[in-house]
Structure 1
């Protein structure tokens, strides 16, 4: 889940901090850029996640602080749908690197750093605070920590290669 979560009855644990990147198809005019600016993004039709989540809040605040009104062409509730719309050239997406790295490595998408976007998107888990974690929950948390925590990037790369 995307963190932070405002819920006093929940215990949260951050597992992975990811950066948001602009995503374009390889033939897009921005595809060869080293990075994109808020003005470049505002000039493009954007395909974003729905309002209400932390990631969308970060994106909206980025444009608001720059005093720029983006052209949001589509709001979708699935990252896979956003990636497909970007792949076919319907707009520019803003997604976490972890979400698009496979398509970038396959040459289907290009990921570009966004100049001035300092916020990182945090991925984590939440569970009831007063409960003693069950054995399955402890095993799940350990698996998440191993995959996403320290050293997790090496394991993800190795898993992609196998």
Structure 2
């Protein structure tokens, strides 16, 4: 039997819904840009996989295939990576050779259901070098602590 783990996005420490806002902006861009549509489809497929695949499996190279206007596109990469502070992970997606999206999240068990709670999204670049991973990991961990202390404030009514 496949275990389903819902995806939840929550407001960050600044009360900003950065993950859902980012995905909505990308969705809006996808109406006018094939590239944005491709990125959105890959990210949504990765999120779908996350809901039904154990984290340990997604830490290996996994193949994702999407259908982009009748053409199959495939990527193979490590979708999920632990960030060294338990229980914080990142969902990974490469926009191109230089830019890489990262979504930080943590597993959370509440009201009999294990979910993945997403807090932050950011872009890493090779040129110019930019890597906010440690900062975003730490901010996500702080949100994990807040959710742990008061889960009903953040998770009540989520499906």
TM-score (norm 1): 0.27
Name whichever structure is richer in strand by fraction. 2
Larger relative contact order (CA 8 Å, sep ≥ 6): 1
